[in-house]
Structures are given as structure tokens and as C-alpha cells.
């Protein structure tokens, strides 16, 4: 009976963690460049149950011992593109990330919502400079900026630099920071094979609201089922204790 309480409690904890992840996905459904997270649950090893009888015991079956979170990962599939026609709104079609220079070091993102600051630096929404192959990108504020599909940046007729587009052997080894920033973590940088920079577009979140809501309902029902199971086991234990007390 006590084992059953722990089994149900472990499932409630796992589904609560899963619900937190799904809720965060839904909250960022409109966040540019956001990549949804997923949690994979794993069943603990089953235990063999025996019925005790005089002269020995008889195996009557297996009992699950609960579940836990086995793995958390980020889904790096592409989100839908939104056309904005703003010259410094950029989206990467294919593999790769934009590189940003921050106070904590180089960070990576698929959020290409950029603009010019007062010094003509191309920066993100937080003011972090966007990196080209030769360093932070800077143009004259009054020059028209054009960016080719290969990432070449022009200010008027002058070629400034190429966008630094970075890819990794295993993006899930990146460290996720906030809504759409990533740090290198344990991932190894590799050459980008296939990408195209789309000027005047932004990549939206890859969250599918219907899918997330269905999974939230499922997680909620599993949580409630285990909650009812704990209540039933608690009532059974209370009844057993009362009956044993009466026998004395």
C-alpha cells in the first residue's frame, strides 16, 4: 500500500514538471525565434509481486514503481516565417544561428529582429551587436542596408562584411538562456552546409498551440488520476488502521 503512494506521487511530480514545460511553450507561442521544449518521461523498473501463503509464496504479477523525467530537450525545427519588409529583420532558412556579442561572451539565436543603434551598429532587441565574420557589424546610419541570401551585408553599394552564421554538431548540447538565446555549452561548432538568409522576414516560434493544449490536457488528467489514487489509498490505510485498532 505504501509503495502505491510513492508510485502515484512520482507520477504527479513528473506530470507537474511536464505541465510547467508545456505552459512555458504556450506562453512563448508568439516569441520570435523561440524553440519549444519537451520532457520525456521514463517508467521505473517494475517489481515482482508475490502472494504470501503457508509454506511459501506465489508470484502474482508485476507492479510499476512509478515514473520520472528521463530527458529534456529542445525542438530545433524551423518556425513559420513572417514577412515584415523591415531591412534588418532577418530569418535563416535552413541550418544555423546568428552570432551576438554580449557581456557574457558570444551567444547564438534564431531571433533576427535587429536594428541600428545610434552608432550605426546592427544590434538585437537587447542592444547586443550582431557579429560578422570580421567582428561586430557597423554601417553608416543614413545608408540603405541590403543583405544577400548568402549573408553578405551591403551599405549602399559598399560591401561591409558577411553575417557570421554558426551551426553545431548537436544543438541539444547548447545551453538555453531565456526565450531565444543559446550559449555554446558542450556543443561543437561545425561548418554550415545549407542555409539562406531571408531579409525582411522573421522566424516565428515553432510552437503549435493545438498540440501543446492537447498535451496539457493529457498531463492534467494523468495528474488528477494519480491524485485520486493517493486519496483512495489513504482512505484504505485509514480504514485498515481503524480495523486493526478495533481488533485489539
| 8 Å CB contact between 197 and 186 | no
Domains of the chain by residue range? 2-74+207-247, 81-203
State mean pLDDT over 156-172: 92
Cell numbers at 139, concatenated: 554601417
pLDDT of residue 44: 67
Record the pTM. Answer: 0.80
CA gap 122, 128 in Å, rounded: 8
> How do residues 107-150 score in pLDDT, each as one tens digit?
999 999 999 998 999 999 999 999 999 999 999 878 899 999 99
> How do residues 21-51 score in pLDDT, each as one tens digit?
999 999 999 999 999 999 887 766 666 666 6
Positions of E strands within 37-164: 37-43, 47-53, 56-63, 67-74, 81-83, 90-94, 97-102, 105-109, 115-116, 122-123, 131-132, 135-136, 145-147, 152-155, 158-162
Cell numbers at 122, concatenated: 546592427
Amino acid at each position: 500500500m505504501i509503495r502505491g503512494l510513492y508510485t502515484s506521487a512520482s507520477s504527479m511530480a513528473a506530470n507537474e514538471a511536464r505541465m510547467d514545460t508545456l505552459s512555458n511553450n504556450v506562453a512563448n507561442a508568439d516569441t520570435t525565434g523561440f524553440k519549444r521544449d519537451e520532457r520525456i518521461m521514463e517508467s521505473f523498473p517494475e517489481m515482482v509481486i508475490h502472494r504470501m501463503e503457508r509454506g511459501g509464496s506465489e508470484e502474482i504479477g508485476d507492479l510499476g514503481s512509478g515514473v520520472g523525467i528521463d530527458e529534456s530537450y529542445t525542438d530545433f525545427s524551423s518556425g513559420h516565417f513572417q514577412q515584415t519588409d523591415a531591412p534588418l529583420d532577418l530569418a535563416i532558412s535552413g541550418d544555423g544561428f546568428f552570432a551576438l556579442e554580449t557581456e557574457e561572451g558570444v551567444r547564438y539565436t534564431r531571433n533576427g529582429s535587429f536594428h541600428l543603434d545610434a552608432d550605426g551598429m546592427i544590434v538585437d532587441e537587447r542592444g547586443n551587436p550582431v557579429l560578422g565574420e570580421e567582428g561586430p557589424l557597423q554601417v553608416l546610419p543614413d545608408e540603405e542596408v541590403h543583405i544577400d541570401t548568402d549573408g553578405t551585408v551591403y551599405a549602399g553599394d559598399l560591401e561591409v562584411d558577411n553575417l557570421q552564421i554558426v551551426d553545431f554538431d548537436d544543438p541539444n548540447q547548447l545551453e538555453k538562456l531565456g526565450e531565444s538565446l543559446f550559449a555554446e555549452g558542450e556543443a561543437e561548432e561545425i561548418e554550415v552546409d545549407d542555409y539562406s538568409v531571408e531579409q525582411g522576414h522573421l522566424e516565428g516560434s515553432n510552437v503549435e498551440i493545438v498540440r501543446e493544449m492537447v498535451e496539457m490536457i493529457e498531463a492534467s488528467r494523468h495528474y488528477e488520476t494519480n491524485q485520486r489514487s493517493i486519496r483512495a489509498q489513504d482512505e484504505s490505510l485509514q480504514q485498515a488502521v481503524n480495523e486493526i485498532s478495533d481488533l485489539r
